[in-house]
Structure 1
């Protein structure tokens, strides 16, 4: 028995990656290398998540020989359920007893506890700022990799207005132009004048770009940006969702794709169009009858047509904010009207209550009624257990 325990090369290990929460290429490579060095061989390496996220990491999966499992085409995210089902199957069908779950989501804590009860060793790989609290109590080993560092852009005092040479033939200007390349192309020297794209941005947008300067160059993954914004105190995830916070600045940041976004894109604000002078309308004189000696002129102005173009992403962001505000106004009376069975003060299945709330439009079609009921702990009691969770009205 001691020989079998000491020979790590004989152990089979499985690395199961939740790509929705653990998608940094360097961290994935480091996690695989550490597990492979400990076990001698990673028998199974699988990744679960949204299709765009898995496609973006194709080079990593090809290098590690990873099988990918995109989410089912449903309104509900199936990443967690697919990973849990495969972990149970791998243990009972292939006898794997060493699991490494690459995620910081607390939804996998029950899986880790059950695998340890079955005699398995369970590791957790996560990113700093993403792993849930007290994860060490549920896993045999927890390893957190540093989150991608977004270094703040150097700030150099700039003049009130950039100096524009008045004449191209000036010797001083010509010497300066030939001595140094354009400021925005020089990699070693900081910018001497502010970027044109930053002019006129709101203060909050400027702070976001300073916290995550990589957004100025290319789209960034939400799983990397959200922890940085939380550490800088932009929002509290316990109160406000990241998508709702970013929807306030839909004119500057785009969430892609629109359904279950994974990327954050900074949109360079376009310069306002130069207003064209409106010709002064010629007054049209309406003469009075001939017997009158005076004539009165009434200027007739054509009404100006204003056409408002609303982009699809702005409509999506506005719809999300309105839905969140509408759900915050749901009262206990609204819940009881939707589910009158609760008035009997008897336990009622949570799934039935959630279905009634969806039918009456109190919650979104893909949402659960649990968070809505938890807002009123004095009125409703949530009972966890088998065969299903139940809700009881306290009266």
Structure 2
């Protein structure tokens, strides 16, 4: 039978959900305007002549971490793709900081939020999620979060935010005040406006992907170094070109993963460094003392890797600017990285690493632990090993 012409009873559908969508986007845009931008700090280290160090302080976001930017982008991505509506139940797999930020945005929009996290997530992050009205579902290992989060989203007829898949695509890497554009804009007018290296650790891989793509898009000579931690799959995947690599998982919250996440884009990375957990925590302690406030373990990873790159640059007689990030506050880790009893239980001795880092910052030279280089598993200097 041929198609019948439309009648009054078969009128075209209305845009039923658009008023809420416009409201939600306005709420998220308002948060972005109120947050303005984070500071770019320039601490001075006597032992690093010719090296300018810049720290992008992402801990000053309303939810206290780098993940505030990602959470806002994931919400916008879900809303604009039609996945998040009024009344949608939101679910995320997280090691804590992303979930804190997502709980904040869910509360702004009046949406229920459930975070699936490892049991060993820091108590302060769990408390922050609850304070924003979020709910926590705990699993025994980091590798379980994906399946449980997807199942809960299905059971509630909700939406799985899935930071580990969407982090690299939810943010516009060409600009729109992403973290890369923010850093390079703040460097304008500095003596070294274009840094030699940007150093960042990998959790989802999304921040590294944004930075690496932006650098290439703008035709900049800056190179990207990604720091990875013990128990993470990223370093071995980058080194072997095998995305099937797995690992037990990381003790440094927020970075390192037991599998290679979809948002990890190895092709934009020029060099990777694997940082021992003791070095990450020691670097966090050392940097905290120089900034007069605590920074988290992932910031310690970033800072140790930056020092490693600086050591190679000075050994080869090079100078220039290096940029890395303060990911979150160390106050979230008072019961772990800053607790001597926790360090003892984990068998982590930060004292030798502290001495090595402090000596390097004060006097330069090699960043070495005893007679061995702490970077003995990185097969070449980051200055010559590019991908």
Q: TM-score, normalised by structure 1?
A: 0.29
Q: TM-score, normalised by structure 2?
A: 0.30
> Which is helix-richer, 1 or 2?
2
Structure number with greater Rg is 1
